[in-house]
Structure 1
Amino acid sequence: MAFAHHFMLQALYLGLLVFPSSAWAATENLNQLAAAALAVKEEAVGAQSPTLEVLDWAVASPALRLPAESTAAVPQLFSQNVTVQPSNLELRGQFETEQPLLSQPVNGRLAEATSSKSVATSTAITPGPSHIEGPVSESARLLGLQAQGVPQRQKSQTPLQLAPSKLFNLETANQQPAGTVSISTGVRFFFTDQVGFSTGLQVYNAAIDGGVTDRLQLGLATTLFDDRLPRALSGQSVDLQFLSIAPNFKYQLIKDSNLSLGLSGSLELLQILTTPGLLNPTPETITGNHLAGTLQVPLSYALNPELQVHFTPGVAFYPETINATPFFGTILNLGAGLSWQPLEQVNLFADLNLPLSGGNAISSQDSSIFRQLVWSAGLRYLVNPDVGLDLYATNAFGTTPATRFLSFVPDGDQTAIGVNLNYTPDFGQGYASSFRKGPRVQLGQRDAALLLDGLTLTSADTLLPGMLRLRGGLGAGDGLNIAYGLTNDFQVELIGEQLREGKDLNSDTYGPGLKLGPAVKLRFLDQVQGDPFSLGLKVALGLDLISDERIGLFSAELPFLYRLAPQVALSFNPKAAFVLERSVVGAGLGVNYGLSKDLQLIGEFTPLFTGQTPVWSVGARYFNSALGLGVDVYGSNAIGQYTLGGLVAQSDNGTSVGFNLHWLLGGGTNF
């Protein structure tokens, strides 16, 4: 009897391995084989524990995809009562599955590591349990065997993880790989004691670059400045609007293990609007379109894998005159820089641009053109492999290839603090989602509820990739917020809100109309994934759409979130908003208490360090995580819920009662 069981089990495994195209291609056949094997096993174990010998099997198989429901029963073929002793077993071919390869509880939640492709090619197989830790080939999983030496799919490095293709103001000879795309956007805040308003003197920038081949890279960059200059020119206050749009290219001529040499260039459209005093001899405002361009020969040399030096001679072409007044003309420039990666997530950059002929600065005394050294230094921190944050100092005016040569107007002696956000979307390259080791912990229902912002305080958590969040309401400001998760730690938002009349700041300061603008949020720490608490950063811009002045505002918030207990989450949110010459700075304190799976109580209080009236909000939230739908009912003395609105109290000590509606959808997760 034992011999018969032994023979039948051998036959079943031969059927599974030798005839995959017929036995595994159909779910019904696999289920029948699994059921038959289980029946044989149960009968065999009832008699005695057999030993199955698997000798010198060689399998040639095409690629297979096994439905998850078909694989569930097969590992049960083995238990401690059935011993498998393979000898020289080889698997050839490619096996694919959608079945998770690891399931184990982590911090009270379920962690799953799913391998979409595990490839075993002439791989030796040794015995192992049916539920094992670590990636294995699905063929071995079906047999209850652990694979040794199975080659794993390597995650591709993003352009942010590779040697930099450019520094803050310097082109390098490094290239983006073919098929990759990088997007950056940011702002430079110039500081001077001669300017009396807090939201002026910003230079905005954006760029997109893509690798066409491993040697050819194409890009588009833009720089915008629109403000009154901080110093008078020739005794006159000057309003300047400067826009540069710059398509550009870079081609790598030489590439070896240490040395790279390239050729880069740009053709730039300049739109310049000036009032009398700068490039304008008339009493009227003048707007004109002009062309500029660059040609550069970057050279990069790697001293070691983490440290590179860069030399970039180049020339920029500007008009010699604009409106019959001298302009920059042709600038011969010598650039040099250093890039160093001391840690996996940290890069340090520094660069210099020295004009050898022509001029790159404008004097405030007589508007003459002269030469000024342009510099920058700072760091890049990678939040995850897809997202990087730059923080640096510079005296450079713009970020396009031609405007990087220029110092800030006038005189070039003002220093800016620059902030840039870099993002590399994954178009099938297979980038890693984070720097964490091991599988991500899946969110529970309570975690899903905390993805929603509070009443006036931002959550430190970010949406899952592909998740969309909609929020709209009336009460303390009438507004709408749309947020979308691009990566696990990065989301973008669009915020629109009509503010109420404020007590310490009124609509004469921030404008009477709808405030509309973008926002971004990054997460640096994540308590769900094992960090001590969650920490994020949210930055938002807004523009009043009704006021003739198009009043702009800027806000930043640094939310901390600590899950004290499953039902208790505490928030601490330092935050600030700036509009015209006014600034409001405070620190929000909040608590979210879960009364039940779907019902929460929320309380928030924000004292202001700049002397204004504190802001408070209290309310209840019902959120059904399975449906992704929720509603708030609350009371607040704030003029709004987002950005500036959550920092300013209503006039006449007013209080509003309001509601919000929430809709959370997408992200590929059912809570």
Structure 2
Amino acid sequence: MPPVRPEWRGALVAASLPLLLPLLPLAGAAQTQWARLSSASPSGGPSWQPLPTANPGSTTPEVQWQPLPEATGVPGGAASVIWEPLAPSEQSLLAPAPAGPTPAASATDRLQPPLSAAEAADLLNGLEPLPADYPPLLRLGPAVPTANQLGEQQGQISGFTLSPFSGGSASGTGNQNYSLRIDAGLTDQLQLSGFYANADDPLYAPISGRSSPPANFWESYGVALQWQLLNTSAWKLGLAGSLETWNVGSGGCDSFSCKGNDSASPNIFNSSGSRVYTRNLVGSLALPLTWQAAPQWQLSFSPGISFLPASQGAGQGGAGSFYGNNAFISGGISWQPSRQLSLFSSALLPLGPGSNSFNADLVYSRVPIVTAGLNWALNPRIALEGTLTNGWGATPATALLALPSSNRLGYFARFAYTPAAPDTPQPQLSPRQRSLASGGLTVNTALVPPDGTTQLWANADSSGNVFGYAGYSISNILQLDLFKGGAFNNVPQSTALADTYANDRAPQWRFGGKAVILSPLRGFPIWVGGRISLGREYPPGSGQGYLFAESISTWEASPSLALQLNPKLAWSGVDTPWAIGLGANIQLGRSFQLIPEANLVGSDLSQSNASLALRWLASKSVQFDVYVSNAAGLLDMGQLLDAGQARLGGRLVVSF
């Protein structure tokens, strides 16, 4: 079990203050020596410096360690931990004893000070995060802000999507609205946000009187500011505002197959039969109030107003009705049963004079926007959020809008990354575990490279498949797939899935991430993780996309044998194929591994496939795989399709 952060380890002080720091022990000396340093190191951590060799025959009393009270109100600057030596006559420091009778303290119960910079780093990496290390909930879903804010010089990057559970007229996996948002604490009272959102699927419901489903394009980008007017132990009050550009297109075509054809579908604003496109300047104001009712309960209330255009299409065949300005009241509640889990619900009620929804008859109305879901913090740095909601707008000004043409329940999925927050503590991976973190070929492993590791690979096979990958570990438990793609070649077009997602030489581009949920390094007997990716095939292919998700378990049965269980599925507008992946990694001496794999495709057993690879561990950072496989390819959907023949391939992996 990793050590728990004790209150008596030391005190945080400003980097500008003089520090008394422990120094590396002298060669041949049994005691730790000390010297006064003028300031902390630029990195904010302890500075280590050897003292000159002691005079022969000199004696130095054994150094003891004294806890310093937790510093409060320290001036700005990087923080460091300082230690103060006790006089020889003073009692040695012991960890605080629990209440009640306890066994006699042993030497291992004493606080052992670090004797080197490496030991200090290991000690720091083993400290469990404190509750205060976890960022607060900034919003209860997209539509309801809270008065919580990030602290000075803190930042958070989040990506999310809103979508109904089916594609409607657009078919596919849904009418997705994708968004990226960056929040930054300029000061403890002022938070700046920037955001971008994009949706380009046709309207969900067929529109009355229109010959075909109108194309619908929403693109928003802008900035927001939130100023904290009040911050007490129980109450917080903020003033938030946004200024945004909202590009709205209706009619024509926004898909890859016909983009630029302005007569491909009619618009919803007039009878011209062609595309209407308008660039709108919009904005919002809100006054969020948050009450900390109890340590685990927060209630938020926020009145506000959204400034949206009341018409579109003027000068392009005639103006038609649109949403207009809307005042609103909103509120929500959150419950935090543990420091890693928050459950919340919220509602927004538009008051007019405008509207926030329209149906298939183009009748505009006002409907409440309701949200319920959870926020799961894997650690202070990484959080996943999922909700059910009928909201579809992704920015502060558009968040009160329902799904265009059909007010219905959908989902909101969000990933949040807080770079400066503490990571999950864990020991270093062994060389064997680092090689397992490179994954398999068509069956994945549940390990990821350590925080800060970049991983690249390139792959080609005898039938013309070419794929590549670039990933980066933003945590000890999460690797981002920044790029995973390439092109299939010579895949039999015998199924609708192959005909849609594995066309010859059609570019593929996917992104996503793999997370480790449970680990032997944190007391669980096996590795358990999951991975999700999004992307599509580009022209000259179908232009269609799909979501790929997999659950991964890895059991290190012995130092030379690791077994994988890897259920997986692809959610697409064509079908939802699924498979059970089974794999092994067998260490053959110091530099080679044998990797047998099989994917049993439960949705269509004829598409089941198998692979056999030999991995050469050329160095700590370079490895090369040679394999034979009848899978259509290493890229996501390729693991669920049979290639019809055996392929010989190679893959070069580089990590640094």
User: C-alpha distance in 2, partners of 1:485/1:312?
Assistant: 37
Give 1:418's aligned residue: 412
Q: Superposed, which structure 2 residues align to 1:89-238 within 5 Å?
A: 118-121=81-84, 126-127=91-92, 136-137=112-113, 161-168=134-141, 169-192=143-166, 194-195=168-169, 197-236=171-210, 237-238=213-214
2:447 paired with 1:447: no
TM-score (norm 1): 0.77
Q: Does the 8 Å CA contact 1:233/1:363 hold for their aligned counterparts?
A: no
Most deviating of 160-169 and 188-197? 188-197
RMSD: 3.7
Q: 1:499-578 counterparts in 2 under 5 A?
A: 499-500=488-489, 501-502=491-492, 503-505=494-496, 508-510=499-501, 511-512=503-504, 513-547=506-540, 550-578=543-571
Name the counterpart of 1:260: 236
Q: Is the 8 A contact 1:187 1:202 kept in 2?
A: yes
Matched residue SS, 1:495: strand
Within a 5 Å distance, the mapping from 1:17-416 to structure 2 comes to 31=26, 34-35=27-28, 62=38, 70=50, 118-121=81-84, 126-127=91-92, 136-137=112-113, 161-168=134-141, 169-192=143-166, 194-195=168-169, 197-236=171-210, 237-275=213-251, 276-323=266-313, 324-412=319-407, 414-416=408-410
Q: State how far apart, in whole Å, the 2-side matches of 1:483 and 1:636 are.
A: 24
d(CA) in 2 for partners of 1:509 and 1:85?
73
**Which of structure 1's runs of 4+ aligned residues deviate more than 6 A?**
57-61, 64-69, 71-74, 82-86, 88-92, 128-131, 151-160
Distance (Å, rounded) in 2 between the aligned partners of 1:573 and 1:58 = 54
Residues 170-179 or 280-289, more deviating: 280-289
Q: Distance in 2 between matches of 1:518 and 1:488?
A: 19
- CA offsets 1:463-488 (integer angstroms, 9 cap, x no match): 21111111111117321111111111
Task: Give the aligned partner of residue 457 of structure 1.
Answer: 443
Structure 1, residues 334-368: CA drift from partner, whole Å, max 9, x if none? 10111111111101121100011134444334312
Report deviation, 1:621. 3.1
Distance in 2 (CA, whole Å) between partners of 1:72 and 1:509 is: 72
Change (3 A) 1:654 1:620: closer
Does residue 498 (structure 1) correspond to residue 491 (structure 2)? The answer is no
Match 2:598 to one of 594, 605, 614? 605
Please name the residue that 2:474 is paired with. Answer: 486
- The 3 A distance-change label for structure 1 pair 361 and 85 is closer
Q: Secondary structure at the match of 2:639?
A: helix
Distance (whole Å) between structure 1 residues aligned to residue 646 and residue 622 of structure 2 = 27
- Aligned to 2:499, the other structure's residue is in SS state helix
1:632, 1:59 → 2: CA distance?
52
Per-residue deviation at 1:132?
5.8
Indicate if the aligned counterparts of 1:159 and 1:180 stay in contact, CA closer than 8 A.
Answer: no
Aligned equivalent of 1:9: none
| AA in 1 matched with 2:526 | F
The verdict on how the C-alpha distance between 1:91 and 1:233 changes in structure 2, with shifts beyond 3 A counting, is closer
CA distance in 2, matches of 1:658, 1:609: 26
C-alpha displacement at 1:505, in angstroms?
A: 4.0
1:620 to partner: Cα distance: 3.1
Change (3 A) 1:445 1:278: same
Matched, 1:473 2:459: yes
Query: Which 10-residue stretch deviates more, 125-134 or 156-165?
Result: 125-134
Q: 2:579 aligns with which of 575, 580, 586?
A: 586
Specify the code of the residue in structure 1 equivalent to 2:202.
Answer: R
Amino acid at match of 2:437: L
Larger radius of gyration: 1
TM-aligned CA distance change 1:519 to 1:451, over 3 Å? same
Once the two structures are TM-superposed, the CA of residue 160 in structure 1 deviates from its matched residue by 7.7
Amino acid at match of 2:298: Q
Q: Which amino acid aligns with 2:586?
A: Y
1:643 aligns with 2:636: yes
Structure 2 residue matching 1:607: 3-state secondary structure: strand
Counterpart of 1:408 in structure 2: which amino acid?
A: L
Distance 2:345 2:67 in 1: 52
The separation in 2 between residues aligned to 1:134 and 1:228, in whole angstroms, is 67
Question: Could you tell me how far apart the structure 2 residues matched to 1:596 and 1:664 are?
Answer: 21
Distance 2:52 2:570 in 1: 55
1:388 alignment partner, SS class: strand
Partner of 2:256: none
Structure 1 distance, partners of 2:385, 2:584, is 32
Deviations 1:90-131 (A, max 9, x none): 899xxxxxxxxxxxxxxxxxxxxxxx9541247566458999
Distance change (3 Å), C-alpha of 1:419 and 1:255: same
Pairwise CA distance, 1:615: 3.2
Q: Structure 2 vs 1, CA of residues 592 and 282 (structure 1 numbering), >3 Å: closer, same or farther? A: same
Q: 1:378 to 1:123 in 2, by over 3 A?
A: farther
**Alpha carbons 1:233, 1:277 under 8 Å: kept:** no
CA shift for structure 1 position 89: 9.4
Q: How much has 1:269 moved relative to structure 2?
A: 0.8
Percentage of matched positions with identical amino acids: 25
Partner of 1:108: none
User: Does structure 2 retain, via aligned residues, the 8 Å contact 1:628–1:663?
Assistant: yes
**Residue number in structure 2 paired with 1:112:** none
Normalising by structure 2, report the TM-score: 0.79
Residues 290 and 560 (structure 1), Cα distance of their counterparts in 2 relative to 1, 3 Å cut: same
Q: Which has the higher helix share?
A: 1
1:127–1:252 Cα change, 3 Å: closer
* Whole-Å separation in 1 of the counterparts to 2:536 and 2:66: 66
Distance (Å, rounded) in 2 between the aligned partners of 1:256 and 1:304: 14
Q: Which amino acid aligns with 1:420?
A: R
Distance in structure 2 (CA, Å) of the matches to 1:446 and 1:154: 25
1:280 positional shift? 4.1
Cα separation, partners in 2 of 1:380 and 1:448, compared to 1, 3 Å: same
Matches within 5 A, 1:650-665: 650=643, 653-665=644-656
Q: Is the 8 A contact 1:173 1:252 kept in 2?
A: yes
Q: Secondary structure of the residue that 1:406 maps to in structure 2?
A: coil
Which letter does structure 1 place at the counterpart of 2:637? L
TM-superposed CA distance for 1:67, in Å, is 8.6
Cα deviation code 1:40-96 (max 9, x no counterpart): x9xxxxxxxxxxxxxxx999775688997959999xx99xxx99688x99899xxxx
TM-superposed deviation, 1:532? 2.1
1:427-478, Cα deviation, whole Å (9 max, x unpaired)? xxxx4322x5xxx222112111101111112221112111111111111732
Q: Please say if residues 558 and 575 of structure 1, whose CA atoms lie closer than 8 Å, have aligned partners that are also in contact.
A: yes
What secondary structure is seen at the aligned counterpart in 2 of 1:295?
strand
Matched letter for residue 325 of structure 1: G
Alpha-carbon shift at residue 561 of structure 1 (Å): 1.1
* Alpha-carbon offset, residue 317 of structure 1: 0.6
After superposition, the Cα gap between the structure-2 partners of 1:73 and 1:432, relative to the gap in structure 1 and judged at 3 Å, is: farther
Contact 1:246 1:401 in 2 (8 A): no
Of 474-483 and 395-404, the range deviating more from structure 2: 474-483
Q: Which amino acid aligns with 2:625?
A: D
